[in-house]
Structure 1
């Protein structure tokens, strides 16, 4: 596959520059996401949360209506769609300039969300859980975040065997990218899928070699915020994992990440400002 090395992406007719990394704030309209402070259960709480993220410097908000943590409750497609639309519609009304990413692996939810005003599809399954997803993305002509995962949220923890971790993941992502490009999808972001079909040791190895993903030619998203890799290694709770998140986000930037997907926007924006300042020193 030819090297693309895209540093811009067309989002709703706007050309978004990724030469300076961006922050994506996580908004979970769910009752059971692994980090309790990321959950919102009312419309006003959700608007307050989004407003705070925008004030703190988020360029994107990532809206999810289905927790993908292992053991999470099953959510019907209709319920997931209702949850996501309940966020997108008021956010579009009160914060019309913010970029909205839709965290879903279901093509019909993705289509409804984009129709309601969303801009980006963030698919944790990389198209493996809904065979219509790639065609839907192509038809909608929106950016697509291709994440690496094996199996389902229920089975992924048993699918952590790799002959060569980074080589295998890149090969699997490349196959999906080739399919997407054949269907006319050009605005792609790559997410190596920290914590999804990877154990803690593998997550650290993946972070160490994150720059290898530049060979795919697309911007890399790092989703490390408050994950088990941090809080289990430090023997703390997710609520105590902000400092560890900051450390790993810094390492991700150093290794080429263009987007940080986080629960804590202010701290991630500060990381990017400080890291960017170091890049100006020659």
Structure 2
């Protein structure tokens, strides 16, 4: 971090000071089968217009995804995954040359192609758990999001926090050994990523946001429209916005600073409300 009192997220051509204000990290799924917005972003022009609008609402980073990672997702070939992303990526970079872009992928060859194409942030749901990915990090020095994926662990409620602590300690250490600094490494508790997919695990992970501050790395809030709202309130996929915003506000209070979302305008309003609330509390 820049100093002991500040939290920054840094990468190639960007430096976001997260100390007082969270940032919006917009999700651009380019897949037909994503759990919430599959098949929505079907036109390049539509996506370009959406980015322009969301920039106006304050979005700082845009993440492209060419493969769904919802529970029991259908895997696809690396070539198909990249073919979904590449035409959008080229058009976005042409229209917005200074944009900060991420890719959501756990596929080695897709990550490599993304880095070769100038994408600055790699979001790996498997937490860079292979030497091949770490070698790519060492070669290209991107910023990263390393997520705790409960599907890769034998999760138990009584040991989950210890398992997450061990995971983040090890993942951050390996990424630093590959040449990254702490401000290049975003950590994500992985809400919604469990084979059991229970509300109990999701709530533990949300609460663990507070403990994650000990790592001194930027913390991601990635709960947008996820199914915890269904289990809490029997909310359908088009009824989860309010629970999403309420729990995002909660995790922001605990220390989350990068809010990964589908609903950018509403998240901007959340951040403004958070800042007003924080000012009231400090009076």
TM-score (norm 1): 0.90
| Unpaired segments ≥5 residues, structure 1 | none
Structure 1 residues 72 and 4: alpha-carbon distance in aligned structure 2, compared to 1, 3 A threshold: farther
Partner of 1:11: 11
Can you list the C-alpha shifts for 1:252-275, whole angstroms capped at 9, x where unaligned? 111100100010001111111111
* 1:162 Cα deviation from its structure 2 partner: 4.8
Alignment partner for residue 180 of structure 1, among 175, 197, 204? 175
How many pairs does the alignment contain? 274
| Alpha-carbon separation, structure 2, partners of 1:231 and 1:150 | 19
* 1:37 Cα deviation from its structure 2 partner: 6.3
Q: Is 1:191 aligned to 2:192, yes or no?
A: no
Computed over aligned residues only, the root mean square deviation of the Cα atoms, in angstroms, reads: 2.0
* 1:8 Cα deviation from its structure 2 partner: 1.8
Q: Secondary structure at the match of 2:16?
A: strand
| Unpaired segments ≥5 residues, structure 2 | none
Partner of 1:160: 155
Partner of 2:149: 149
| Alpha-carbon separation, structure 1, partners of 2:173 and 2:122 | 18
Partner of 1:222: 221
Partner of 2:124: 123
Contact 2:150 2:190 in 1 (8 A): no
| Alpha-carbon separation, structure 2, partners of 1:58 and 1:98 | 10
* 1:5 Cα deviation from its structure 2 partner: 7.7
* 1:84 Cα deviation from its structure 2 partner: 1.8
Partner of 1:202: 201
| Alpha-carbon separation, structure 1, partners of 2:200 and 2:133 | 31
* 1:147 Cα deviation from its structure 2 partner: 0.4
Q: Which moved more, 1:172-181 or 1:59-68?
A: 172-181
* 1:44 Cα deviation from its structure 2 partner: 2.0
Moved over 4 A (4+): 3-6
Q: Is 1:271 aligned to 2:262, yes or no?
A: no
Contact 1:64 1:104 in 2 (8 A): yes
TM-score (norm 2): 0.90
Can you list the C-alpha shifts for 1:109-139, whole angstroms capped at 9, x where unaligned? 12211222311011111023x4411121121
Contact 2:23 2:60 in 1 (8 A): yes
* 1:161 Cα deviation from its structure 2 partner: 2.4
* 1:4 Cα deviation from its structure 2 partner: 7.5
